[in-house]
Structure 1
Amino acid sequence: MGSFQSKSKSDPASTTKMSNKKDFLRVDGEKIVLDGDEIILKGAAIGGWMNMENFITGYTGHEHQVRAALKEVLGEEKYEFFFDKFLEYFFGEEDAKFFASLGLNCLRVPVNYHHFEDDMNPRVFKKEGLKHLDRVVDICAKYGIYTIIDLHAAPGGQNFDWHSDNATHKASFYDHKDFQDRTIILWEHLARHYKDNTWVAGYNPLNEPTDEKHVRLVAFYDKIEKAIRKIDPDHILFLDGNTFAADFSAFGKPLPNSVYTCHDYSNYGFPSAPEMYTGTKEQVQLHKDNFKRKTAYMRKHKGPVWVGEWGPVYQNAHDGIPNWEKVNDSRFDVLNLQLGIYDKARASWSIWLYKDIGFQGMVYTGEETPYVKLLGDFIQKQKRLAANKWGADDSHVKDLFAPIVEWLSSNAPTFKNRYPAKGGVNDSWNTAGHLARLVRNILLSEEMVKEYAEYFRGKNMQELDDLAKSFHFDNCTQRTRLNKILKEDSKRGEKGISSSANEKV
């Protein structure tokens, strides 16, 4: 049986020139430790920043599509200006200070490979690629916040969804060696840059991989672990399970100094919930069983648990749901249930997400900001059409698609077994889900990108700066109840009330 134990402190290969080994977080059996003392990482992801996602900032389609459309509308100079200011304002010192005030100690930082290289100029790294990533890593360090660098979008698409900036329904990453080689070279580049930075908790080489054959992902992890360790022997690797970080069935013994990570979204936290969560014995047990299934590999090998993503979405008065406040109460109850499960397992976690336009974030752009006022009608339209997948309420279009779902199911009944097979708390991969992705989330959504870009036509530099500044912390609204819950949970470790990781959940 494999062991999660880190390399011995006396191992000369595990030292660095500039940093003392004891200053790095490391895996020690079931724990993440700092010089022998257990550290439980609790925080959030800064999704929508160096890896943009449609529902987070209100566009449709995929990041490379919206960037291309905005470049065409704005021209090169204004395009570069707007996105540089957007990256600057989205996370600054005020954000880090607020984050730390909640007792949170870790920020997961999703990045898109396009920041570092271009597809038409591969393996040539951009000089400006690390500018904003360095800035945020340094700001977080100032406030005692660790960062985990997460490759959310790899060349070719390590999964087949919008969040890997993949505009197809195929994960080509596993079919082309060149995509994998480029990803390894990129991580070697990042490892050289951050190998001595002890405030970087570690590297998350691939977010939510979806390898239909399963074994190709495991082989890639073996390769990238060796490549990174040759350059950087000290940082932890955070390795997502297959099938959106939920399936470890093909994994063998664990790699050294690695944390195997699951994502644990509950369908009861979304509009697609089978029923309102009311805390019944059956509902509670379903969540416990789901977490137990996703963490079976970690418990078998006696390793630490990191829930890399989880968390509900929230409704607001503009959504047209009469009982929207009651719905949110239910989703906060789900949130509290999951926090209790994680605490009992002494699991580290990263909630999704820190900042957006009011759907899921701990803070979000205010209604009176230039960005939300400009795009308000478009944002509501894409919600009505369920153009984006995440947290979509398809009630307005469900009847329209129902006959096609029935037609597909009757003529190709194997849809029920199409990868990824459905099941568990997050049951969204069915015939209707596959149809929605191809027709609404790809075809319709990419066409609507043009409409989104037109809102920016004719904007001058000051107007573009104002739009980008809508995401500055001072212009954001806090989701007070969520943040209060997270702050209270951050104190649990201090009180020493957590249970053993081996205790049944």
Structure 2
Amino acid sequence: MAIHTLNPSCQPLRVSGDAIVNAAGERIVLKGTALGGYLNMENFITGYPGHEHEHRAALASVLGKEKAQFFFDRLLHYFFTEADAKFFASLGMNCIRLPFNYRHFIDDQDPTSFKKEGFDLMDRVINICTRYNLYVVLDLHAAPGGQNQDWHSDSGLNKAMFWEFRVFQDQAIELWKAIATRYKGNPVVCGYNLLNEPADPEHVRLISWYERAEKAIRAVDPDTMLFIDGNTYAMDFTYFQNVLPNAVYACHDYAMFGFPIPGQPLYSGSDDHKGKLKRQFDRKALFMREKKVPIWNGEFGPVYANESVDPEAEKVNNARYHMLQDQLNIYDQDKVSWSIWLYKDIGYQGMVYVNPDTPYMKLIAPFVAKKQKLALDFWGCVDKESVKDVYAPFIEGLKKMVPEHIQKKKYPHIWTFDRQVERAVRECLMSEYLGWEFAELFEGKTEAELEELARSFAFENCIKRDGLNRILEEDGRNSAK
């Protein structure tokens, strides 16, 4: 059966000056999305609290290992299919960023061999994207030990231990060598995003690791582009001096106007608001412009209000669509490549999201509401006021124990003392406890019932976020002219 797509066949890409180009030397602007939730799960994407490895272990304790594995296998099967790729390509976009967790490839109890299952899952997405002429950027989103302090590096901690142990750093390089050996020469796999949102408190260890990783990868794959995130969550290039060959440098450009921050005005499109968006991006892209290398905005995008619970949702979301449109206009001025976060979830940011009437959403909806009320997820929590009576006096008491100037010492320094406590207590400790409660929702489920729960994530059971997709389609079609 012929496949109809707006995208031309994928060709090998490379860096030339400040552009990504094809074999003919024509500039290619990558415009895409991230398939978060597939090879790297996140709590706000599918609903559980805390960290992925804890979620998997909790479900295995309730269902047994075989049934739990069955459920996860079926969920991933439905999470991205040809129907998803066909829809995505129909919007005129041309690239999928594929975040992956090292745990799919490395067994911590047998770290010297690689798991075939992880490569099978990666192959599946690449093969589907091949049929729809979609480039793929492979993204190491969760490295051994955790390359940052956040939930999405799946360490279970609020410290980035990747930087403290050479063995973790070496494991990540060996994994990249195996990936590069497998996919070298595949024009669909256009790039290796070496480390998502690294956060090295000393900065220089990240630079050293990038240099070592580049040498190791180039020994087996001399041609595939590298995508290099800045430090401190892809926002800080202060310690970067040299550029690696055939490398695209990446920032992440989330705008505060896109988040439900109490007291923050809605984005208005005024000169002042547009100016803030522009200055924010210019600051992050300064290194790339000075070095005259391609810019990739690896993540951006607002969180959307839920129309079923927020009477102001339409007004809020229209303001966030407006902000997104203005961001895209800024990127277009410099022909910046980008990857919006995110393709599919349960309703926060996705281009498509699981229908509330599906079995999965009916099962987890009360828990998700409780999780939001308890403010367990940083990303999926709209209002933290409901737990203020518990945490405010606790945090104020802790602050009295620590001199004020020392409260600012913990990295990342831009985070307040309150944020550091929130990360440790709510997002790690309390989320681990509530993870067992979430798992109990699945207790006693048969394989047939688990199949139906997983099927909730199939494209035909999802709702398209039309306002967002219209903006992306218009941008994609205009760039194709």
Question: TM-score when scaled to structure 1?
Answer: 0.90
Displacement of 1:241 in angstroms is 0.3
Displacement of 1:404 in angstroms is 3.4
Displacement of 1:57 in angstroms is 0.2
Contact persistence 1:270–1:391 (CA under 8 A): no
Match for residue 492 of structure 1? 478
Residue identity opposite 2:423 in structure 1: R
| Residue 285 (structure 2) aligned to one of 295, 301, 321 | 295
Match for residue 277 of structure 1? 267
Alignment of 1:42-441 (within 5 A): 42-272=31-261, 274-319=264-309, 321-393=310-382, 394-410=384-400, 411-413=402-404, 414-422=406-414, 429-441=415-427
Deviations 1:377-413 (A, max 9, x none): 0011101111111142212223432333434445332
Alpha-carbon distance in 2 for matches of 1:117, 1:129:
9
Deviations 1:27-71 (A, max 9, x none): 000100011111000010000111000000000010000000111
Displacement of 1:294 in angstroms is 0.3
Residues 113 and 272 (structure 1 numbering): CA distance in 2 closer, same or farther, change over 3 Å?
A: same
Contact persistence 1:295–1:305 (CA under 8 A): yes
Deviations 1:68-121 (A, max 9, x none): 011111112212211111111100100000000000100000000110111111
Q: Which runs of 5+ in 2 are unaligned?
A: 1-9
| Residue 451 (structure 1) aligned to one of 429, 434, 437 | 437
The secondary structure found in structure 2 opposite 1:129 is: helix
Residue identity opposite 2:367 in structure 1: F
Alpha-carbon distance in 2 for matches of 1:389, 1:217:
25
Match for residue 501 of structure 1? none
Deviations 1:262-294 (A, max 9, x none): 000011101126322222322221111110110
Contact persistence 2:144–2:155 (CA under 8 A): no
Alpha-carbon distance in 1 for matches of 2:33, 2:183:
21
The secondary structure found in structure 1 opposite 2:209 is: helix
Residues 194 and 283 (structure 1 numbering): CA distance in 2 closer, same or farther, change over 3 Å?
A: same
Alpha-carbon distance in 1 for matches of 2:40, 2:103:
9
Indicate yes or no: 2:14 matched with 1:26.
yes
Greater CA drift, 123-132 or 181-190: 123-132
Residue identity opposite 2:57 in structure 1: A
Alpha-carbon distance in 2 for matches of 1:265, 1:201:
24
Residue identity opposite 1:296 in structure 2: L
Alpha-carbon distance in 2 for matches of 1:289, 1:89:
40
Match for residue 481 of structure 1? 467
Match for residue 16 of structure 1? none
Deviations 1:151-184 (A, max 9, x none): 0000010011100102111100011000011111
Contact persistence 1:115–1:126 (CA under 8 A): yes
Identical positions, percent: 53
Contact persistence 1:272–1:391 (CA under 8 A): no
Residues 481 and 390 (structure 1 numbering): CA distance in 2 closer, same or farther, change over 3 Å?
A: same
The secondary structure found in structure 1 opposite 2:364 is: helix
Alignment of 1:30-41 (within 5 A): 30-35=18-23, 36-41=25-30
Displacement of 1:339 in angstroms is 0.8
Greater CA drift, 334-343 or 149-158: 334-343
Displacement of 1:432 in angstroms is 2.1
Residue identity opposite 2:428 in structure 1: I
Contact persistence 2:197–2:231 (CA under 8 A): yes
Contact persistence 1:26–1:33 (CA under 8 A): yes
Alpha-carbon distance in 2 for matches of 1:195, 1:337:
37
The secondary structure found in structure 1 opposite 2:116 is: coil
Indicate yes or no: 2:455 matched with 1:469.
yes
Alpha-carbon distance in 2 for matches of 1:317, 1:310:
22
Alpha-carbon distance in 1 for matches of 2:397, 2:286:
38
Alpha-carbon distance in 2 for matches of 1:196, 1:74:
42
Contact persistence 1:123–1:185 (CA under 8 A): no
Residue identity opposite 1:412 in structure 2: P
Question: TM-score when scaled to structure 2?
Answer: 0.95
Contact persistence 2:300–2:340 (CA under 8 A): yes
Residue identity opposite 2:268 in structure 1: T
Alpha-carbon distance in 1 for matches of 2:223, 2:284:
27
Match for residue 5 of structure 2? none
Alpha-carbon distance in 2 for matches of 1:447, 1:275:
35
Deviations 1:346-402 (A, max 9, x none): 100000000001111000111111100111100111011111111422122234323
Alpha-carbon distance in 1 for matches of 2:279, 2:173:
35
The secondary structure found in structure 2 opposite 1:279 is: coil
Greater CA drift, 370-379 or 268-277: 268-277
Alpha-carbon distance in 1 for matches of 2:231, 2:72:
32
Contact persistence 2:372–2:380 (CA under 8 A): no
- Say what the alpha-carbon RMSD is for the aligned residues: 1.4
Alpha-carbon distance in 1 for matches of 2:367, 2:115:
33
Contact persistence 1:271–1:391 (CA under 8 A): no
